[in-house]
Structure 1
Amino acid sequence: MRWFRQLVRRWTGARPGAQTPPQPLDDIELHDRVAELLVRELGSAEHATTTPSPVSPARIASWMSDNQFSYFIDNDGDLGGLWRGRLFYFFLFGQQAEILQVRGQWHRELAIERLEEVLDLCNEWNAERIWPKAYVRVRDNGRVHVVAEVATDLEHGATDAQLSQILFCGLSTGSMLFDALDERYPDPAGAAP
Protein backbone atom coordinates (compact mmCIF):
# COMPACT_ATOMS: atom_id res chain seq x y z
CA MET A 1 0.00 0.00 0.00
CA ARG A 2 3.01 2.29 0.40
CA TRP A 3 3.36 2.54 -3.38
CA PHE A 4 -0.31 3.57 -3.61
CA ARG A 5 0.14 6.40 -1.08
CA GLN A 6 3.20 7.58 -3.01
CA LEU A 7 1.24 7.51 -6.25
CA VAL A 8 -1.63 9.52 -4.70
CA ARG A 9 0.88 12.07 -3.38
CA ARG A 10 2.36 12.40 -6.86
CA TRP A 11 -1.11 12.88 -8.36
CA THR A 12 -2.21 15.46 -5.83
CA GLY A 13 1.12 17.20 -5.29
CA ALA A 14 1.29 16.30 -1.56
CA ARG A 15 4.78 16.04 -0.08
CA PRO A 16 5.76 13.69 2.73
CA GLY A 17 5.88 15.55 6.04
CA ALA A 18 4.08 18.60 4.63
CA GLN A 19 2.18 20.54 7.33
CA THR A 20 -0.62 21.96 5.24
CA PRO A 21 -2.76 19.61 3.23
CA PRO A 22 -2.83 20.31 -0.50
CA GLN A 23 -5.87 21.92 -2.02
CA PRO A 24 -8.25 19.45 -3.65
CA LEU A 25 -8.00 19.29 -7.42
CA ASP A 26 -10.96 19.75 -9.68
CA ASP A 27 -11.86 16.84 -12.01
CA ILE A 28 -10.21 18.31 -15.09
CA GLU A 29 -6.91 19.04 -13.34
CA LEU A 30 -6.92 15.61 -11.69
CA HIS A 31 -7.60 13.95 -15.06
CA ASP A 32 -4.76 15.91 -16.68
CA ARG A 33 -2.31 14.96 -13.92
CA VAL A 34 -3.27 11.28 -14.11
CA ALA A 35 -2.94 11.31 -17.90
CA GLU A 36 0.47 13.00 -17.62
CA LEU A 37 1.60 10.44 -15.04
CA LEU A 38 0.45 7.53 -17.22
CA VAL A 39 2.25 8.91 -20.27
CA ARG A 40 5.41 9.42 -18.21
CA GLU A 41 5.25 5.93 -16.66
CA LEU A 42 3.85 3.87 -19.54
CA GLY A 43 4.58 5.91 -22.64
CA SER A 44 2.04 7.38 -25.00
CA ALA A 45 -0.41 5.21 -26.87
CA GLU A 46 -0.01 4.98 -30.61
CA HIS A 47 -3.08 5.32 -32.76
CA ALA A 48 -3.96 2.25 -34.78
CA THR A 49 -3.15 2.56 -38.45
CA THR A 50 -5.60 -0.13 -39.49
CA THR A 51 -8.83 -1.45 -38.14
CA PRO A 52 -9.48 -5.10 -37.37
CA SER A 53 -11.22 -7.08 -40.09
CA PRO A 54 -12.53 -10.65 -40.17
CA VAL A 55 -9.96 -13.40 -40.63
CA SER A 56 -10.46 -15.61 -43.65
CA PRO A 57 -8.53 -18.41 -45.33
CA ALA A 58 -7.66 -15.90 -48.08
CA ARG A 59 -6.01 -13.56 -45.53
CA ILE A 60 -4.04 -16.47 -44.06
CA ALA A 61 -2.96 -17.62 -47.54
CA SER A 62 -1.93 -14.05 -48.37
CA TRP A 63 0.14 -13.93 -45.17
CA MET A 64 1.77 -17.23 -46.12
CA SER A 65 2.65 -15.87 -49.59
CA ASP A 66 3.91 -12.56 -48.17
CA ASN A 67 6.25 -14.50 -45.86
CA GLN A 68 7.31 -16.91 -48.63
CA PHE A 69 5.89 -20.01 -46.94
CA SER A 70 4.54 -22.93 -48.94
CA TYR A 71 0.85 -23.69 -48.47
CA PHE A 72 -1.87 -25.83 -49.98
CA ILE A 73 -5.60 -26.47 -49.85
CA ASP A 74 -6.38 -30.12 -49.13
CA ASN A 75 -9.32 -32.20 -50.43
CA ASP A 76 -11.50 -31.02 -47.52
CA GLY A 77 -10.82 -27.38 -48.36
CA ASP A 78 -8.54 -26.88 -45.33
CA LEU A 79 -5.54 -24.58 -45.58
CA GLY A 80 -2.22 -26.16 -44.60
CA GLY A 81 1.42 -25.40 -44.94
CA LEU A 82 4.93 -26.42 -44.07
CA TRP A 83 6.97 -24.62 -41.45
CA ARG A 84 10.52 -25.84 -40.89
CA GLY A 85 9.54 -29.14 -42.50
CA ARG A 86 6.54 -29.63 -40.22
CA LEU A 87 2.91 -29.77 -41.23
CA PHE A 88 0.52 -27.14 -39.86
CA TYR A 89 -3.13 -26.48 -40.60
CA PHE A 90 -5.05 -23.23 -40.17
CA PHE A 91 -8.69 -23.64 -39.20
CA LEU A 92 -11.51 -21.18 -38.61
CA PHE A 93 -14.23 -22.40 -36.23
CA GLY A 94 -17.31 -20.86 -34.66
CA GLN A 95 -20.63 -19.54 -35.94
CA GLN A 96 -18.95 -16.67 -37.78
CA ALA A 97 -15.59 -18.45 -38.31
CA GLU A 98 -14.17 -16.21 -35.59
CA ILE A 99 -11.90 -18.71 -33.83
CA LEU A 100 -8.54 -19.13 -35.52
CA GLN A 101 -6.69 -22.33 -34.73
CA VAL A 102 -3.12 -23.08 -35.78
CA ARG A 103 -2.65 -26.83 -35.43
CA GLY A 104 0.60 -28.64 -36.08
CA GLN A 105 1.42 -32.30 -36.04
CA TRP A 106 4.77 -33.83 -35.24
CA HIS A 107 6.28 -35.47 -38.31
CA ARG A 108 6.79 -38.79 -36.53
CA GLU A 109 4.57 -41.19 -34.58
CA LEU A 110 5.38 -43.25 -31.51
CA ALA A 111 4.52 -46.78 -30.43
CA ILE A 112 1.48 -47.19 -28.17
CA GLU A 113 3.83 -48.49 -25.46
CA ARG A 114 5.16 -44.92 -25.12
CA LEU A 115 1.69 -43.39 -24.63
CA GLU A 116 2.07 -42.80 -20.89
CA GLU A 117 5.46 -41.08 -21.17
CA VAL A 118 4.27 -38.92 -24.09
CA LEU A 119 1.17 -37.93 -22.08
CA ASP A 120 3.48 -36.97 -19.20
CA LEU A 121 5.60 -34.89 -21.58
CA CYS A 122 2.49 -33.10 -22.91
CA ASN A 123 1.13 -32.48 -19.40
CA GLU A 124 4.49 -31.08 -18.31
CA TRP A 125 4.58 -28.85 -21.38
CA ASN A 126 1.04 -27.56 -20.75
CA ALA A 127 1.77 -26.90 -17.06
CA GLU A 128 4.88 -24.83 -17.82
CA ARG A 129 3.85 -22.94 -20.97
CA ILE A 130 0.89 -21.06 -22.32
CA TRP A 131 1.43 -22.03 -25.97
CA PRO A 132 0.93 -24.32 -27.69
CA LYS A 133 -1.54 -26.69 -26.13
CA ALA A 134 0.06 -30.12 -26.50
CA TYR A 135 -1.94 -33.33 -26.73
CA VAL A 136 -1.86 -36.78 -28.27
CA ARG A 137 -4.15 -38.82 -30.45
CA VAL A 138 -4.02 -42.55 -30.82
CA ARG A 139 -4.66 -43.56 -34.40
CA ASP A 140 -6.65 -46.60 -35.46
CA ASN A 141 -3.36 -48.43 -36.11
CA GLY A 142 -2.31 -47.90 -32.47
CA ARG A 143 0.37 -45.30 -33.22
CA VAL A 144 0.65 -42.19 -31.03
CA HIS A 145 0.36 -38.87 -32.82
CA VAL A 146 1.45 -35.60 -31.06
CA VAL A 147 -0.39 -32.35 -31.83
CA ALA A 148 0.36 -28.69 -31.04
CA GLU A 149 -2.49 -26.19 -31.06
CA VAL A 150 -2.90 -22.42 -30.60
CA ALA A 151 -6.47 -21.11 -30.75
CA THR A 152 -7.54 -17.47 -30.57
CA ASP A 153 -11.01 -15.93 -30.52
CA LEU A 154 -11.06 -13.15 -33.10
CA GLU A 155 -14.72 -12.20 -32.80
CA HIS A 156 -13.89 -8.57 -33.57
CA GLY A 157 -11.39 -9.41 -36.30
CA ALA A 158 -7.67 -8.71 -36.38
CA THR A 159 -5.36 -6.21 -38.00
CA ASP A 160 -2.70 -7.57 -40.33
CA ALA A 161 -0.09 -7.11 -37.58
CA GLN A 162 -2.23 -8.96 -35.03
CA LEU A 163 -2.92 -11.80 -37.46
CA SER A 164 0.77 -12.06 -38.25
CA GLN A 165 1.66 -12.23 -34.57
CA ILE A 166 -0.91 -14.97 -33.90
CA LEU A 167 0.21 -17.05 -36.88
CA PHE A 168 3.90 -16.71 -35.99
CA CYS A 169 3.04 -17.61 -32.38
CA GLY A 170 1.26 -20.80 -33.45
CA LEU A 171 4.03 -21.83 -35.84
CA SER A 172 7.02 -20.99 -33.66
CA THR A 173 5.67 -22.38 -30.38
CA GLY A 174 4.47 -25.52 -32.14
CA SER A 175 7.97 -25.92 -33.56
CA MET A 176 9.42 -25.52 -30.07
CA LEU A 177 7.27 -28.43 -28.86
CA PHE A 178 8.32 -30.54 -31.83
CA ASP A 179 12.00 -29.67 -31.21
CA ALA A 180 11.58 -30.91 -27.63
CA LEU A 181 10.07 -34.15 -28.97
CA ASP A 182 12.93 -34.53 -31.46
CA GLU A 183 15.39 -34.12 -28.61
CA ARG A 184 13.59 -36.61 -26.38
CA TYR A 185 13.02 -39.12 -29.18
CA PRO A 186 15.90 -38.76 -31.68
CA ASP A 187 15.33 -40.19 -35.13
CA PRO A 188 17.38 -43.38 -35.36
CA ALA A 189 17.73 -42.95 -39.12
CA GLY A 190 19.33 -39.54 -38.52
CA ALA A 191 22.39 -41.13 -36.88
CA ALA A 192 25.22 -42.74 -38.86
CA PRO A 193 25.25 -46.58 -38.77
Structure 2
Amino acid sequence: MGLFRDRARRLLGRRPPAQATDAPLEAASDEELHETVARIIARELGVEGSGGDGDVPTPISLGRVAAWMTENQFSYFVDSDGDLGGLWRGRLFYFFLFGEQSEILQIRGQWHREVALERLEEVLDLCNEWNADRIWPKAYVRVRDNGRVHVISEVATDLEHGATDEQLSQMLYCGLSTGSMFFDSLDERYPDPAGVAP
Protein backbone atom coordinates (compact mmCIF):
# COMPACT_ATOMS: atom_id res chain seq x y z
CA MET A 1 0.00 0.00 0.00
CA GLY A 2 2.98 2.32 0.45
CA LEU A 3 3.37 2.80 -3.30
CA PHE A 4 -0.34 3.66 -3.62
CA ARG A 5 -0.09 6.19 -0.76
CA ASP A 6 3.00 7.78 -2.36
CA ARG A 7 1.18 8.15 -5.68
CA ALA A 8 -1.87 9.55 -3.89
CA ARG A 9 0.30 12.10 -2.08
CA ARG A 10 1.82 13.21 -5.40
CA LEU A 11 -1.61 13.50 -7.03
CA LEU A 12 -3.12 15.32 -4.08
CA GLY A 13 -0.09 17.58 -3.86
CA ARG A 14 -0.95 18.98 -7.33
CA ARG A 15 -4.50 19.93 -6.32
CA PRO A 16 -5.30 23.59 -5.66
CA PRO A 17 -5.78 24.40 -1.94
CA ALA A 18 -9.55 24.92 -2.43
CA GLN A 19 -9.87 21.25 -3.39
CA ALA A 20 -7.66 19.83 -0.64
CA THR A 21 -9.21 17.25 1.65
CA ASP A 22 -10.07 18.12 5.25
CA ALA A 23 -8.43 15.04 6.75
CA PRO A 24 -4.67 14.53 6.63
CA LEU A 25 -3.61 12.02 3.99
CA GLU A 26 -1.98 9.74 6.55
CA ALA A 27 -5.30 9.45 8.43
CA ALA A 28 -7.29 8.48 5.31
CA SER A 29 -8.29 4.85 4.88
CA ASP A 30 -7.24 2.93 1.78
CA GLU A 31 -10.82 3.13 0.48
CA GLU A 32 -10.89 6.93 0.97
CA LEU A 33 -7.54 7.23 -0.81
CA HIS A 34 -8.79 5.11 -3.71
CA GLU A 35 -11.95 7.22 -4.04
CA THR A 36 -9.94 10.45 -3.90
CA VAL A 37 -7.49 9.28 -6.55
CA ALA A 38 -10.40 8.03 -8.70
CA ARG A 39 -12.03 11.48 -8.51
CA ILE A 40 -8.76 13.15 -9.49
CA ILE A 41 -8.28 10.80 -12.43
CA ALA A 42 -11.90 11.33 -13.53
CA ARG A 43 -11.36 15.10 -13.37
CA GLU A 44 -8.12 14.81 -15.39
CA LEU A 45 -9.89 12.64 -17.97
CA GLY A 46 -12.65 15.22 -18.27
CA VAL A 47 -15.72 13.39 -16.96
CA GLU A 48 -16.16 14.71 -13.44
CA GLY A 49 -19.59 16.21 -13.05
CA SER A 50 -20.78 15.02 -16.45
CA GLY A 51 -23.99 13.66 -14.90
CA GLY A 52 -26.25 11.86 -17.31
CA ASP A 53 -28.76 9.07 -17.09
CA GLY A 54 -27.20 5.59 -17.19
CA ASP A 55 -30.12 4.33 -19.34
CA VAL A 56 -29.52 6.85 -22.13
CA PRO A 57 -26.70 6.26 -24.64
CA THR A 58 -24.03 8.89 -23.99
CA PRO A 59 -20.64 9.43 -25.63
CA ILE A 60 -17.89 7.12 -24.47
CA SER A 61 -14.92 8.56 -22.58
CA LEU A 62 -11.97 7.20 -20.66
CA GLY A 63 -13.51 8.82 -17.61
CA ARG A 64 -16.56 6.58 -17.95
CA VAL A 65 -14.25 3.57 -18.23
CA ALA A 66 -12.37 4.69 -15.10
CA ALA A 67 -15.69 5.20 -13.27
CA TRP A 68 -16.75 1.67 -14.26
CA MET A 69 -13.49 0.28 -12.88
CA THR A 70 -13.92 2.17 -9.62
CA GLU A 71 -17.53 1.01 -9.31
CA ASN A 72 -16.44 -2.60 -9.86
CA GLN A 73 -13.47 -2.23 -7.48
CA PHE A 74 -10.85 -2.88 -10.16
CA SER A 75 -7.44 -1.28 -9.76
CA TYR A 76 -6.22 0.78 -12.69
CA PHE A 77 -3.66 3.40 -13.64
CA VAL A 78 -3.07 6.18 -16.13
CA ASP A 79 0.41 5.97 -17.63
CA SER A 80 2.69 8.85 -18.63
CA ASP A 81 1.06 8.95 -22.10
CA GLY A 82 -2.39 9.37 -20.55
CA ASP A 83 -3.43 5.80 -21.45
CA LEU A 84 -5.74 3.96 -19.07
CA GLY A 85 -4.77 0.41 -18.10
CA GLY A 86 -4.82 -2.26 -15.44
CA LEU A 87 -3.86 -5.83 -14.59
CA TRP A 88 -6.41 -8.65 -14.71
CA ARG A 89 -5.28 -12.11 -13.67
CA GLY A 90 -1.67 -11.04 -14.18
CA ARG A 91 -2.24 -9.77 -17.72
CA LEU A 92 -1.92 -6.16 -18.82
CA PHE A 93 -4.98 -4.58 -20.46
CA TYR A 94 -5.28 -1.09 -21.92
CA PHE A 95 -8.38 0.87 -22.89
CA PHE A 96 -8.11 3.18 -25.90
CA LEU A 97 -10.46 5.51 -27.77
CA PHE A 98 -9.88 5.93 -31.50
CA GLY A 99 -11.70 7.67 -34.35
CA GLU A 100 -12.38 11.27 -35.30
CA GLN A 101 -14.63 11.74 -32.25
CA SER A 102 -13.01 9.11 -29.99
CA GLU A 103 -16.00 6.88 -30.67
CA ILE A 104 -14.20 3.53 -31.06
CA LEU A 105 -13.52 1.74 -27.78
CA GLN A 106 -10.67 -0.76 -27.90
CA ILE A 107 -9.76 -3.13 -25.06
CA ARG A 108 -6.28 -4.48 -25.75
CA GLY A 109 -4.62 -7.16 -23.64
CA GLN A 110 -1.10 -8.54 -23.63
CA TRP A 111 -0.12 -12.02 -22.53
CA HIS A 112 2.15 -11.84 -19.48
CA ARG A 113 4.91 -13.87 -21.17
CA GLU A 114 7.04 -13.40 -24.28
CA VAL A 115 7.52 -16.02 -26.97
CA ALA A 116 10.81 -16.83 -28.69
CA LEU A 117 11.03 -15.81 -32.35
CA GLU A 118 11.56 -19.48 -33.27
CA ARG A 119 7.97 -20.18 -32.14
CA LEU A 120 6.46 -17.35 -34.21
CA GLU A 121 4.90 -19.61 -36.84
CA GLU A 122 3.20 -21.91 -34.33
CA VAL A 123 1.90 -18.96 -32.28
CA LEU A 124 0.56 -17.35 -35.47
CA ASP A 125 -1.22 -20.63 -36.23
CA LEU A 126 -2.79 -20.59 -32.73
CA CYS A 127 -3.96 -17.00 -33.26
CA ASN A 128 -5.41 -17.87 -36.67
CA GLU A 129 -7.25 -20.89 -35.23
CA TRP A 130 -8.66 -18.73 -32.45
CA ASN A 131 -9.77 -16.02 -34.91
CA ALA A 132 -11.40 -18.60 -37.20
CA ASP A 133 -13.43 -20.17 -34.37
CA ARG A 134 -14.39 -17.13 -32.29
CA ILE A 135 -15.64 -13.59 -32.73
CA TRP A 136 -13.79 -12.15 -29.70
CA PRO A 137 -11.09 -11.27 -29.09
CA LYS A 138 -9.05 -10.70 -32.20
CA ALA A 139 -5.72 -12.40 -31.52
CA TYR A 140 -2.41 -11.41 -33.07
CA VAL A 141 1.30 -11.06 -32.36
CA ARG A 142 3.84 -8.26 -32.41
CA VAL A 143 7.52 -8.88 -32.97
CA ARG A 144 9.62 -6.44 -30.95
CA ASP A 145 12.98 -5.03 -31.99
CA ASN A 146 14.68 -7.46 -29.60
CA GLY A 147 13.19 -10.42 -31.51
CA ARG A 148 10.77 -11.37 -28.75
CA VAL A 149 7.13 -12.00 -29.66
CA HIS A 150 4.25 -10.48 -27.70
CA VAL A 151 0.79 -12.03 -28.03
CA ILE A 152 -2.10 -9.55 -28.06
CA SER A 153 -5.89 -9.75 -27.66
CA GLU A 154 -8.16 -6.99 -28.90
CA VAL A 155 -11.86 -6.18 -28.79
CA ALA A 156 -12.94 -3.00 -30.59
CA THR A 157 -16.45 -1.54 -30.80
CA ASP A 158 -17.69 1.49 -32.72
CA LEU A 159 -19.82 3.56 -30.32
CA GLU A 160 -20.61 6.46 -32.63
CA HIS A 161 -24.06 6.81 -31.04
CA GLY A 162 -22.82 6.37 -27.48
CA ALA A 163 -23.58 3.60 -25.00
CA THR A 164 -25.65 3.18 -21.87
CA ASP A 165 -23.86 2.27 -18.65
CA GLU A 166 -25.08 -1.31 -19.02
CA GLN A 167 -23.85 -1.55 -22.62
CA LEU A 168 -20.47 -0.12 -21.67
CA SER A 169 -20.18 -2.57 -18.79
CA GLN A 170 -21.01 -5.48 -21.09
CA MET A 171 -18.35 -4.39 -23.62
CA LEU A 172 -15.67 -3.96 -20.97
CA TYR A 173 -16.42 -7.34 -19.39
CA CYS A 174 -16.40 -8.88 -22.88
CA GLY A 175 -12.95 -7.46 -23.68
CA LEU A 176 -11.48 -8.55 -20.35
CA SER A 177 -13.08 -11.98 -20.10
CA THR A 178 -12.54 -13.09 -23.71
CA GLY A 179 -8.96 -11.79 -23.64
CA SER A 180 -8.39 -13.75 -20.43
CA MET A 181 -9.88 -16.88 -22.03
CA PHE A 182 -7.48 -16.56 -24.96
CA PHE A 183 -4.51 -16.09 -22.63
CA ASP A 184 -5.66 -19.08 -20.54
CA SER A 185 -5.52 -21.19 -23.70
CA LEU A 186 -1.93 -20.02 -24.25
CA ASP A 187 -1.06 -20.90 -20.65
CA GLU A 188 -2.38 -24.42 -21.26
CA ARG A 189 -0.39 -24.76 -24.48
CA TYR A 190 2.80 -23.31 -23.00
CA PRO A 191 2.90 -24.12 -19.27
CA ASP A 192 5.22 -21.93 -17.26
CA PRO A 193 8.37 -23.91 -16.40
CA ALA A 194 8.48 -22.15 -13.01
CA GLY A 195 5.05 -23.56 -12.22
CA VAL A 196 6.03 -27.16 -13.01
CA ALA A 197 7.77 -29.33 -10.43
CA PRO A 198 11.23 -30.58 -11.53
- TM bucket, shorter chain: 0.7 to 0.9
Choose the corresponding residue for 2:170, options 152, 165, 171. Answer: 165
In the other structure, the counterpart of 1:117 is: 122
2:55 alignment partner AA:
T
In the other structure, the counterpart of 1:138 is: 143
In the TM superposition, what whole-angstrom CA distance separates every residue of 1:73-123 from its partner, at most 9, and x where no partner exists? 001000001112211000000000000000000000010000000000000
In the other structure, the counterpart of 1:53 is: 58
SS at match of 1:116: helix
SS at match of 1:53: coil
Give the Cα separation in 2 of the matches to 1:177 and 1:75: 28
Q: By how many angstroms is 1:49 displaced?
A: 7.2
2:119 alignment partner AA:
R
Q: How do 1:23-172 residues align onto structure 2 when only pairs under 5 Å count?
A: 50-172=55-177
SS at match of 1:76: coil
SS at match of 1:145: strand
Q: Percent identity?
A: 81
Q: How large is the RMSD of aligned CA atoms in angstroms?
A: 1.2
Give the Cα separation in 2 of the matches to 1:120 and 1:191: 25
SS at match of 1:54: coil
Confirm whether residue 191 of structure 1 aligns to residue 171 of structure 2: no
Misfit runs of 4+, over 6 Å: none
Give the Cα separation in 1 of the matches to 2:173 and 2:88: 10
Cα 1:113–1:80 change in 2 (3 A) is: same
Choose the corresponding residue for 1:182, options 187, 194, 197. Answer: 187
In the other structure, the counterpart of 2:31 is: none
In the TM superposition, what whole-angstrom CA distance separates every residue of 1:141-186 from its partner, at most 9, and x where no partner exists? 0001000000000000000000000000000000000000000000
The answer on whether the counterparts of 2:54 and 2:166 sit within 8 Å (CA) in structure 1 is no
TM-score, normalised to structure 2's length?
0.72
Give the Cα separation in 1 of the matches to 2:71 and 2:134: 29
Name the count of aligned residue pairs: 146
1:131 alignment partner AA:
W
| Unmatched runs of 5 consecutive residues or more in structure 1 | 1-47
Give the Cα separation in 2 of the matches to 1:186 and 1:95: 42
SS at match of 1:100: strand
Q: By how many angstroms is 1:191 displaced?
A: 1.4
Task: Flag the structure with larger Rg.
Answer: 1
Q: By how many angstroms is 1:192 displaced?
A: 2.1
